[in-house]
Amino acid sequence: MSATTVVAGAILSDDGRILLAQRAYPPELAGLWELPGGKVEPGETLADALVRELCEELNVRVEVGDRLAVAVTLESGLELIALRATIVDGTPTAAEHRMIEWVDAERLRALDQAGAVVPNDREWLPEILADLLER
Ligand code: CDP
């Protein structure tokens, strides 16, 4: 993986919800909701990086599944990839975010319509909504 990849977790529950995290910074993104994650470090696989980041950010251990089909490339050159994941140990807490919330499809649509989703992450919403609605 290149140093310019960011991996995010589409953490799904078995009752049709996804875990969103509300950013605390920078000012232009603070208050907006995202899939938690972070930069892949040299030598890490995407899955390794996601397990590490979600441990640091949410204090949970996850099992990583397959990736969402859409990859988002930013003007800065960063590439964002999302992997499905499930929590196998721990209860998520907001260690680095303002707060976290398990949202169902209806709440996710409402957050999006209110402009409360990080713009990059909006690319993943069709796939996520399909996942949530088939559970
Ligand atoms: O925490 P920090 O802003 O340093 O960065 P990061 O979490 O490692 O993410 C790096 C970049 O990816 C930032 O520009 C984030 O805004 C972006 N990102 C995103 O657009 N969507 C996510 N779900 C996660 C990160």
The model's pLDDT over 19-50, given as tens digits with 9 standing for 90+, comes to 999 999 999 999 999 999 999 999 999 999 99
Report whether 43 contacts 49 (CB < 8 A).
no
Q: Give me the mean pLDDT over the 120-128 stretch.
A: 98
CA of 124 to the centre of ligand 1 (A): 15
Residue 74's pLDDT band, with cuts at 50, 70 and 90, is: confident
pTM of the complete model: 0.95
Question: Residue 1: its pLDDT value, please?
Answer: 45
- Distance, in Å, from the CA atom of 64 to the CA atom of 56, rounded to the nearest integer, reads 16
Nearest residue (CA) to ligand 1, atom 25: 38
Residue 123's pLDDT band, with cuts at 50, 70 and 90, is: very high
Q: Is the CB of 80 under 6 A from ligand 1?
A: yes
> pLDDT averaged over the chain?
96
Residue 75's pLDDT band, with cuts at 50, 70 and 90, is: confident
CA of 26 to the centre of ligand 1 (A): 10
Name the percent of the chain lying above pLDDT 70: 98
